[in-house]
Amino acid sequence: SQINVYNAVNYGTAVTPFYTTLALWVGALILAALIKVHVDYKARFVKNATNAQLYFGRFLLFFVMGQLQSAIIVFGDLYLLHVECDNPKLFFITAAITSMVFTLFIYTLVISFGDVGKAIAVVMVVIQIAGSSGTFPIELLPEFFKNVYIYFPFPYAINAMREAISGVYGWDYFTYISKLFAFLDFLTLASLFSFQGADI
């Protein structure tokens, strides 16, 4: 007999978590390509600002734009594509959290490494598309992806969205979200540490 953990009425609904997550990453990458990550040092309010203030102050712009992107993507999924969603409110919240993590991730890469950071973000999305267990179970993928996929944010975002769309199973949702927040905490701490004495 077959026991369905996540019920999906059609293929489109089943792959929505993967493609929504991908859209949020690409959206964050486009933001980093279109908007300068470094502040204008000629502005008066910059002169006495600390590196942490410059870092988080500039990120606020990326955060707001990322939240707009996530809202548009989820609205499109629900009301244009008519995805069957078990908990639309949770879907919105999950997309907002995912966007915040992805935006901070790519913003930190670009502000740290410049154009090389953008290249790293592109390489990361290619690896995560192939090995995030979004379309195929991780057990069916090559050994390389089985070993590295847990170190990327894609799998946790996809699984959290799957919970919102197809129904929450036990405490799995909170596990996936907590792991996404772990990326957020690590990025924040690493950024504050690495930018001590550096120019942003």
Q: What is the pLDDT of residues 110-134, one digit of tens each?
A: 988 889 999 999 999 988 888 777 7
pLDDT band at 79 (very low <50, low <70, confident <90, very high): very high
| Distance in angstroms (rounded) separating the CA atoms of residues 74 and 87 | 12
| Distance in angstroms (rounded) separating the CA atoms of residues 101 and 191 | 14
| Distance in angstroms (rounded) separating the CA atoms of residues 49 and 79 | 43
pTM of the model: 0.88
Q: Which residues of 156-185 are buried (b: 16+ CB within 10 A; e: fewer)?
A: bbbbbbbbbbbbbeeeebeebbebbeebee
pLDDT of 199 over the 80 cut: no
pLDDT band at 41 (very low <50, low <70, confident <90, very high): low
Cβ(37)–Cβ(111) under 8 Å? yes
pLDDT of 86 over the 70 cut: yes
- So what's the pLDDT on residue 130? 81
